[in-house]
Amino acid sequence: MGELRDIKRRVGALLDGLGHDPDEVASTLEAAGVQGVPRSNTSCAVAVYASAVMKADPRICAVSVGPCTLILTLVRADGRPGGKLTVQLPKPVRGFVDGFDASRYPQVLRLPTVPGPEPAVATPTV
């Protein structure tokens, strides 16, 4: 049980370190080069950041973020599923997630690439 407490403590410290208000969280993520997709639990900016930092831990298989929580999917040393660990988002991070999902932080938005129209090709006239 000490391992889970340790992971939860490290994740909590990581999230607390993002900033004291939503705008500071956005600035921290921008400075780290993070971009995410609004309303995506696994691709939002906070999930992308936490995943990049926490996935170095072999016990962490996946990271997702909801409006109020960060959820870690864990794996045991033998490769079997290790369950999920839920960490409450600090208030500034919750505010950021809310604003991010409303597209209020364009500096950290990764917009999906949409194929454009085919380029016009001139047809030779004879």
Annotated domain spans of the chain = 2-104
Asked if residues 47 and 37 have their Cβ atoms less than 8 Å apart, the reply is no
pLDDT tens by residue, 89-110? 999 999 999 999 999 999 999 8
Asked if residues 110 and 36 have their Cβ atoms less than 8 Å apart, the reply is yes
- β-strands 69-75, 81-88: how paired? antiparallel
What's CA 106's distance to the chain center, in Å?
Answer: 15
**What residue type is 11 in one-letter code?**
V
- Say if residue 124's pLDDT is above 70: no
Identify the pLDDT of residue 2. Answer: 84
Judged by average pLDDT, the poorest of 15-19, 88-92, 114-118 is 114-118
pLDDT tens by residue, 22-73? 999 999 999 999 999 999 999 999 999 999 998 789 999 999 999 999 999 9
CA-to-CA distance for 123 and 88, rounded, in angstroms?
61
pTM above 0.85, yes or no: no
| Vertex 78 angle, CA 72 and 83, to 5° | 25
